[in-house]
DNA sequence: GGTTAAATGTTTGACTATCCAACAATTTAA
DNA sequence: TTAAATTGTTGGATAGTCAAACATTTAACC
């Protein structure tokens, strides 16, 4: 068996590195996303925010940031942009005057659904390289990795 | 079945998004790498460069950049740093006076091998969440995804 | 009830990664 | 021999991430 690619480069040391392979594969799916949503003016990060708010209306910015595991300071510009696109709106929370409750506008709901369909069909392109049930298996394995990141 | 995590957040729309899961899983392995190599003053990107040169001594900067699918302008600072760490050296190419041939120093070889062992054992931590043969299966599936990024 | 501690959104700055366009020197192709 | 392509490099633009600080507001506590 060979560790060379078509250019004759030996990848031995990276061949079994899951970190490297995951990164490369993630970049492939990033391209898929970009190809599907570039004209919508959206990024993967913004899509994940929309996806969270879609199923969890009324969440605060901090709640969304912890749900997606990003710093809450990064939410400011993101929500600003989504608000300028008129797909998300900040509503003043009644019981906590520090925070906002985030909601999708009607336009935002349709936008998110359309985006989800486009990304979904974009990802489907890779199903042909997977055997029966492999996609579900991959999702499950990735979940196991993600959930066990902290403890030993 | 529930799409909620422990915080009661509904992840429905991201639950089956391979792009999202791959990103999260990749971040987990990035942490593994960082935990294993932070004190060595190295990043995942620099490690991948060392890994390529280790098995392919004499490559030019451009060859390494195409092997790793990064812009060749990004190699300059990277090789500068690796040279300052005295693990890589640029040698003037005889047949092409434009380019350098890259080699690991003796220190660089030991450094790369030690790094590889540390990353490898770091990744082993996640084997306990995998069934027999799942790791090899995952690597194979990721390869299929990566190799088929371009064509349809 | 009054003081202390914590949370929220925000701004700012630093840092990194990535990409693209240019450029001089050099090699290759026509 | 002239034109086109390649190599390393620089600089600028962009985006993502992170930490520290701040005012406002809420929660905890004795």
- What number does CATH give the domain B16-125? 1.10.10.10
pLDDT digits (tens, 9 = 90+) for B66-83: 999 999 999 999 999 999
Residues A24, B142: C-beta atoms closer than 8 Å: yes
pLDDT averaged over chain A? 91
Pick the range with the lowest mean pLDDT from A134-143, B2-11, B109-118: B2-11
- List Cβ<8 Å contacts ≥24 apart for A139-147: A139/B15, A139/B16, A139/B18, A139/B21, A141/B130, A141/B134, A141/B138, A142/B21, A142/B22, A142/B24, A142/B25, A143/B21, A144/B129, A144/B130, A145/B25, A145/B28, A145/B29, A145/B126, A145/B129, A146/B21, A146/B24, A146/B25, A146/B28
Tokens 């710093």 map to which residue? Answer: A71
Where are any strands of DSSP class E within B3-145? 88-92, 100-104
Residue B2: pLDDT over 60:
no
Which protein residue lies nearest to nucleotide C16, measured between its Cα and the C1' atom?
Answer: B43
Q: Is the CB of B38 under 7 A from strand D?
A: no
With CA of A77 and C1' of each nucleotide, the nearest comes out as: C10
With CA of A69 and C1' of each nucleotide, the nearest comes out as: D17
Taking residues A52-58, what's their average pLDDT? Answer: 97
Share of chain A above pLDDT 70, in %: 94
pLDDT digits (tens, 9 = 90+) for B26-79: 999 999 998 888 788 899 999 999 999 999 999 999 999 999 999 999 999 999
**Residue B6: predicted pLDDT:** 57
Of B23, B126, B149, the CB nearest to A31: B149
**Residue B4: predicted pLDDT:** 62
> Looking at the complex, does the CB of residue A38 fall below 8 Å from at least one CB of chain B?
no
Share of chain A above pLDDT 90, in %: 80
**Residue A152: predicted pLDDT:** 33
- What token pair was written down for A141? 């394995």
Fold of A18-147: Arc Repressor Mutant, subunit A (1.10.10)
**Residue A5: predicted pLDDT:** 62
**Residue A112: predicted pLDDT:** 97
Which residues in A lie closer than 8 A to residue B71 (C-beta atoms)? none
Tokens 């009324």 map to which residue? Answer: A58
């Amino acid at each position: 068996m060979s560790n060379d690619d078509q250019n004759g480069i030996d990848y031995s040391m990276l061949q079994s590195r899951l970190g490297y392979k995951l990164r490369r594969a993630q970049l492939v799916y990033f391209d898929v996303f970009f190809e599907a949503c570039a004209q919508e003016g959206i990024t993967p990060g913004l899509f994940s925010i929309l996806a969270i708010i879609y199923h969890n209306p009324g969440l605060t910015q901090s709640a969304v940031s912890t749900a997606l595991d990003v710093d809450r300071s990064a939410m400011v510009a993101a929500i600003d942009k989504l608000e300028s696109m008129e797909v998300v709106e900040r509503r003043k929370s009644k019981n906590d005057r520090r925070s906002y409750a985030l909601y999708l506008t009607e336009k935002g709901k349709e936008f998110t659904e359309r985006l989800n369909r486009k990304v979904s069909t974009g990802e489907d392109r890779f199903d042909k390289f997977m055997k029966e049930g492999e996609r579900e298996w991959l999702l499950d394995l990735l979940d196991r990795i993600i959930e066990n990141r902290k403890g030993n």
